[in-house]
Structure 1
Amino acid sequence: MYPYGTPTVVPAQNFDPVKDAHALRKAMKGFGTDEDALIAIICHRTNEQRQEIQRQYKTHFGKDLIEDIQSETSGNFEKLLVGLLTPIVDFYCNELCDAMKGIGTDEDVLIEILCTLSNSEIHTIKKQYLRMYGAHLESELKSETSGNFKRLLVSLCTAHRDESGHVDQAAAANDARELLKAGELRVGTDESMFNMVLCQRNYQQLKLILNEYESITGHSLEKAIKREFSGDIQEGLLAICKCVTNKAEYFASRLHKSMAGLGTNDRQLIRVIITRSEIDMKDIKVTFEKMYGKSLKSWIKGDTSGDYKHALYALIGEQRSSS
């Protein structure tokens, strides 16, 4: 049923958007807010179902559900609920726009989104970005980034990756040799060859190329990329390799990074959980525990609190603990 992974948020059975809209209104009327009721509904419906609830909420009460949530909640709990109620394409557009706004660019966000989505998803985001902000995503990327990293993002933004799933062993061996010549066998690196291969070949073919590279050199292409590149371009190329070999591992490392060290990067934590909960969050959880020796739930427990924590538990398919 789920060809790409196992989600933790699935369509609610016997879904009744009118009943949900009334329950949400009741949870926010009068003194105090019933946060548990908000979590029980918003965190246990798919994005599509949440959009239907919002339409019914507006129809029945003449009020905007997101605005009501914003006036009744605060902090990261509010950000999480608003993110969940935002259509997923708009959510991605907001994240991309905010990553490029103001002084400095959050390259990590650009990599996480553009290196992991399919052609059709990127095309949809580009159209919506233009509608929402009156600007072309590609132009914004060009003005906010530079050098090899800019070229990588522009290549990804064109969304011309082969998605046929067709594999060719001889072509894979040839590409592996070309990558070796463009990197480790020369002084300086011909980054255009890495760009071309990693942004155009389909994932199944890339798997073959990675295997071929390792059998020719005795080490992984990822190791070669770490040696030949640095900074954002290195991170971008590694993200593509990781998505080819194990996408759940890539997102598990993103979750870990959001909570490791001093302070929590809540924006990153929220984004990964919102965007993966309907795709492969179960796989990410299992991978997270294998990689870091502790469950994702225990990390969330240590780094978050209150209603925000309980909402995250619900989205990753975990029961609320008594503490």
Structure 2
Amino acid sequence: MKYNTEQRIKIAETFKQAYGQDLIEELKGELGGDFEDVCVAMLTPPRLLDVKELNKSISGAGTDESTLVEIMCSRSNEEIQEIKELYEKEYECSLEDALMGDTGGYFGRLMRALVQGGRDTDDVDYTRVEEDAQKIFDAGAAQLGTEEAEINSILCVRSFDHLIDVFAKYEELSEGTSLEDAIKSETSSDLQDGFLSIIQCARNKQKYFAMRLNKAMKGFGTDDSDLIRLIVSRSEIDLGDIKDEFQQLYEKPLEEAVESECGGDYKRMLLALVQGNH
């Protein structure tokens, strides 16, 4: 792409100053479908794009839990705080209230914990690593039923570096069972997806996004909304590394996957973003 996100946003601001019209609204009036969605996403500041996607996920009939999980599990404390401020400004409602009004049970508790944006940033505390691993083991594998709240309190608060050591210690305690496998056997549905997403982000965030991209393109039809969000939102952060992980996982370039699974003008836009990250 010829212009980066900052430059594109500056172009939109200059357009408004020169012509008194909102460039995004003008594009919406002239374009349609996936091509419109890509153009609008590329002109939207990254955190505002997150806000729009979160609101879309909890508006109308049904909830898009997978998008909630993707954004809330992968953003930093600072990004979560910015998202919360922008959400309230955009929709006159706190993000926490919006999430609580649309999610419930243990999954709702997971969302409430993540929206606090309070993940530790301290160095690994090796004494606490053993305590946390034991708590997770006692909350699941060591008893009949799973104490999801205990797992939630650790996965949503500890730093990713700390969690990596917790995962290794858990595997020792469980005699070779990974925490991922334990989560799969002890939880289900959206909560399972949330827990697994946190674990995957802690282990390798770029691999997590590569898996999300593959999921958006496999099966019957392409989830264009997910594909657009993932490529646009990561294009100037770590898309080059995500491409490497995609190649390793699926033994084909991300460009090839996009080329074969997408169609129309929007495919060219996405390919330009992907090819611009080496």
Deviations 1:52-93 (A, max 9, x none): 111222223333322332334332111101111012222111
Q: Hey, what does 1:202 align to over in structure 2?
A: 159
1:124 Cα deviation (Å)? 0.9
Deviations 1:70-129 (A, max 9, x none): 334332111101111012222111111110111110000100000000111111111111
Task: Within 5 Å, give how 1:75-94 maps onto structure 2.
Answer: 75-94=33-52
Give the secondary structure class of the aligned counterpart of 2:275: coil
Distance 2:249 2:198 in 1: 19
Q: Please point out which of 191, 204, 219 is paired with 1:261.
A: 219
Task: Within 5 Å, give how 1:234-313 maps onto structure 2.
Answer: 234-313=192-271
Which is greater in Rg?
Answer: 1
Q: TM-score, normalised by structure 2?
A: 0.95
Q: Is the contact made by 2:46 and 2:233 (CA closer than 8 Å) also made in structure 1?
A: yes
Distance 2:274 2:169 in 1: 36
Tell me if 1:224 matches 2:182: yes
Q: TM-score, normalised by structure 1?
A: 0.82
Q: Please point out which of 90, 106, 112 is paired with 1:148.
A: 106
Q: Is the contact made by 1:161 and 1:202 (CA closer than 8 Å) also made in structure 2?
A: yes
Structure 1: runs of 5+ lacking an equivalent: 1-42
1:260 Cα deviation (Å)? 0.3
Distance 2:30 2:95 in 1: 34
Structure 1 vs Structure 2: percent identity of aligned residues? 42
Distance 1:70 1:267 in 2: 16
Structure 2: runs of 5+ lacking an equivalent: none
1:168 Cα deviation (Å)? 1.9
Distance 1:141 1:67 in 2: 27
Q: Which deviates the most, 254-263 or 297-306?
A: 297-306
Distance 1:244 1:273 in 2: 20
Q: Hey, what does 1:9 align to over in structure 2?
A: none
1:215 Cα deviation (Å)? 2.1
Q: How many residues in Structure 1 have an aligned counterpart in Structure 2?
A: 276
Q: Is the contact made by 1:44 and 1:315 (CA closer than 8 Å) also made in structure 2?
A: no
Give the secondary structure class of the aligned counterpart of 1:60: helix
Q: Please point out which of 51, 56, 62 is paired with 1:104.
A: 62
Q: Is the contact made by 1:111 and 1:236 (CA closer than 8 Å) also made in structure 2?
A: yes
Tell me if 1:158 matches 2:158: no
Q: Name segments (4+ residues, structure 1) moved above 3 Å.
A: none
Deviations 1:33-56 (A, max 9, x none): xxxxxxxxxx43222221211122
Q: Looking at both structures, which has the greater relative contact order when contacts are Cα pairs under 8 Å and sequence separation is at least 6?
A: 1
Distance 2:221 2:198 in 1: 27
Deviations 1:177-234 (A, max 9, x none): 1110110001111111101110110111011101111122212111111111001000
Give the secondary structure class of the aligned counterpart of 1:178: helix
Distance 1:234 1:204 in 2: 21
The residue type equivalent to 1:252 in the other structure is A
Q: Hey, what does 1:71 align to over in structure 2?
A: 29
Task: Within 5 Å, give how 1:93-132 maps onto structure 2.
Answer: 93-132=51-90
Q: Is the contact made by 1:92 and 1:125 (CA closer than 8 Å) also made in structure 2?
A: yes
Q: Is the contact made by 1:47 and 1:84 (CA closer than 8 Å) also made in structure 2?
A: yes
